[in-house]
Amino acid sequence: MRSAEHTASRGLDATWKALAEPVRRHILALLRDRPRTTGELCRAFADMTRFGVMNHIAVLKEAGLIRVDRRGRERVNSLEPEPLRLLYEDWMRDYAVTWAGRMGRLKRHAERLEREERSMETDWIGAPLASLLIRQHVEIAAPCATVFQALTQDLSAWWGAPYLLAGEDTADVVLEPWPGGTFKEITTDGGGYVWCTVDQIRRNRLLTLSGRMGMRDAIAGTVRFELEDQANGTRLTLEHAAIGRLDAKTEASFGAGWQDLLAGRLKAFVERGERLGLKKTAS
């Protein structure tokens, strides 16, 4: 009996581990509609290598969440719902009645708040909350240490208009490279604005920020920069996630802004010394 319980527990552990990764959850969501070939799944993740996608498929297969069949030269991936059913029965069913009552009360409370907000007659209250996720990669022909220094110590060389809250009154853009430090604009009169706070920093490898990042209608957000050594330099990965009263226009605007800042200005500064930010020439 204990052996059966242990085996079931190991199976659930594998399911939880597989579901912990957003990419793998996205793969399952794609397979929920219909089986897909490995090539189709790889094309759905254009910002990942084929090897990376296949590693995620292997984890899902090991956890029993998908079945992989060979048809000629193709591998066809299909959803296996049984582990999800077991997970539901083991964790969710006992709480269903309790949570149904709580969710009902939450729904009524949310509807009441929405009615109150709509009565304030502003142009944005009442809009539904939405999430945003921007993910970009930039290849920079320089060591990680050089790119990290530009990200944390030389911001004004590549960060500038129109990505400034104070506009022409901005005197400097500074990041304090330690946990609890701030990413901020300093104005000519000694004032300024805080864009984000440093959550995590690993020199030459990782920088994580939390805050609205200039996004007026965001409630919360995180920005993550990850640096990886490549044969020809550094691969910089940006992930910007936010939640708030956001729309597709906001996501497109910030996506284009990050592309300009990182793939355009930061890359030009690190590789060629071009200063396209606030401080056009070295002081």
Domain 130-272 has CATH 3.30.530.20: yes
What is the pLDDT at residue 245? Answer: 82
- Residue 124: pLDDT above 50? no
Domains 2-80 and 130-272 share a fold: no
Q: What is the CATH number of domain 2-80?
A: 1.10.10.10
Query: Counting Cβ atoms within 10 Å, is residue 19 exposed (0-12), middle (13-18) or buried (19+)?
Result: middle
List, in sequence order, the alpha helices (H) in the chain: 2-19, 22-33, 38-44, 50-62, 82-87, 96-118, 144-152, 248-258, 267-272
Name the most confidently modeled range: 116-125, 233-242, 246-255.
233-242
On the question of pLDDT at 122 being above 80, the answer is no
Q: Is the pLDDT of residue 279 over 80?
A: no
Domain ranges of the chain: 2-80, 86-118, 130-272
